[in-house]
Amino acid sequence: MIRVIKAELRKLRRPTLFLGTMGAAFFFSGLFTALIYLLIDSPNGNSDRGRRVGRELLALAGGSTYGFATVGSLLGIIALCIFAAQTAQEYTYGTLRNLLVRQSGRIRLLLGKHIAMSMFAIVMVLLSAILSVGTSVALSGRAKVSTDLWFTANGWSSIGHTVLNVSIAVIGFGTIGMALGLLLRSPISAISIGVLWILIIENLLGAVKASTLQWMPGSQLQTISQGGTVDISYSHAMQVGGAYVIAATVVASILFSRRDVAN
């Protein structure tokens, strides 16, 4: 198991993959956080879907992480792409047979790869959190937002809870991406279907009937990253989102353990 994790981490730390992924995560984290403060007086809103986030809300103990929680779903989509690509490309390149020669236990191989990619995702979350909170501090003066409560005991607790929630959501997105990679065995197909569903299909269904978002996987994981919303409670999102992740894991594990490894 340890050797599988080390081997997967060796792949994930390639400069093109590591720097490209972190660059995308930093861009979205910095951009979304900055817009909240730069557009704080905009009549068109300064958050997702035109919502307005005022100074009173940002001045609360959890105000420093508001932008980071908002960008959690985008970090999840990045994780979905990484998990899907790293899994499916083993079929595309034909390297899975060689891996199974060294590690014949398929479930152990699968678990080791998942642990390594989850570690990679957590590093991405932690670095993005540092950047987002730093951006909030840097722009709070310009936006005239009080930071007195941000780094109190309650403030640090809020930061910890937000990082934990975003990490759970990101790993959930990644697990679904890994399942898609195992099911479709093609990086392009797995990434396309995953991103298409989360960014387009779920939003279209939500626009037609808002109640459908209470049962969509992407919506649940996004709610988890935000610690719950007005429309969907945190406990509901954990239950429904967890059910999707568990179902995807079980189906993918059964297929991976029984199907031929050829693409």
Averages of pLDDT over each 10 residues, the chain, 263 residues: 83 90 94 90 75 86 90 93 90 71 75 93 96 94 90 94 96 94 89 91 87 90 89 92 92 80 58
Contacts of 111 (CB under 8 A, 6+ apart): 1, 4
The overall pTM is greater than 0.85: yes
Alpha helices by DSSP H, the chain:
2-12, 15-38, 55-58, 66-70, 72-92, 96-102, 106-140, 153-184, 187-196, 202-208, 217-225, 234-258
Long-range contacts of 255-262 (CB under 8 A, 24+ apart): 255/182, 255/183, 256/106, 256/107, 256/110, 256/182, 257/106, 257/107, 261/91, 261/96, 261/97, 261/100, 262/91, 262/94, 262/97
Would you state the pLDDT for residue 103? 60
Would you state the pLDDT for residue 117? 94
Would you state the pLDDT for residue 153? 94
Q: Which of 62, 157, 158, 169 is nearest to 124 (CA)?
A: 169
Would you state the pLDDT for residue 104? 63
Q: Which of 109, 91, 120, 128 is nearest to 11 (CA)?
A: 120
Q: Coil, helix or strand for 225? A: helix
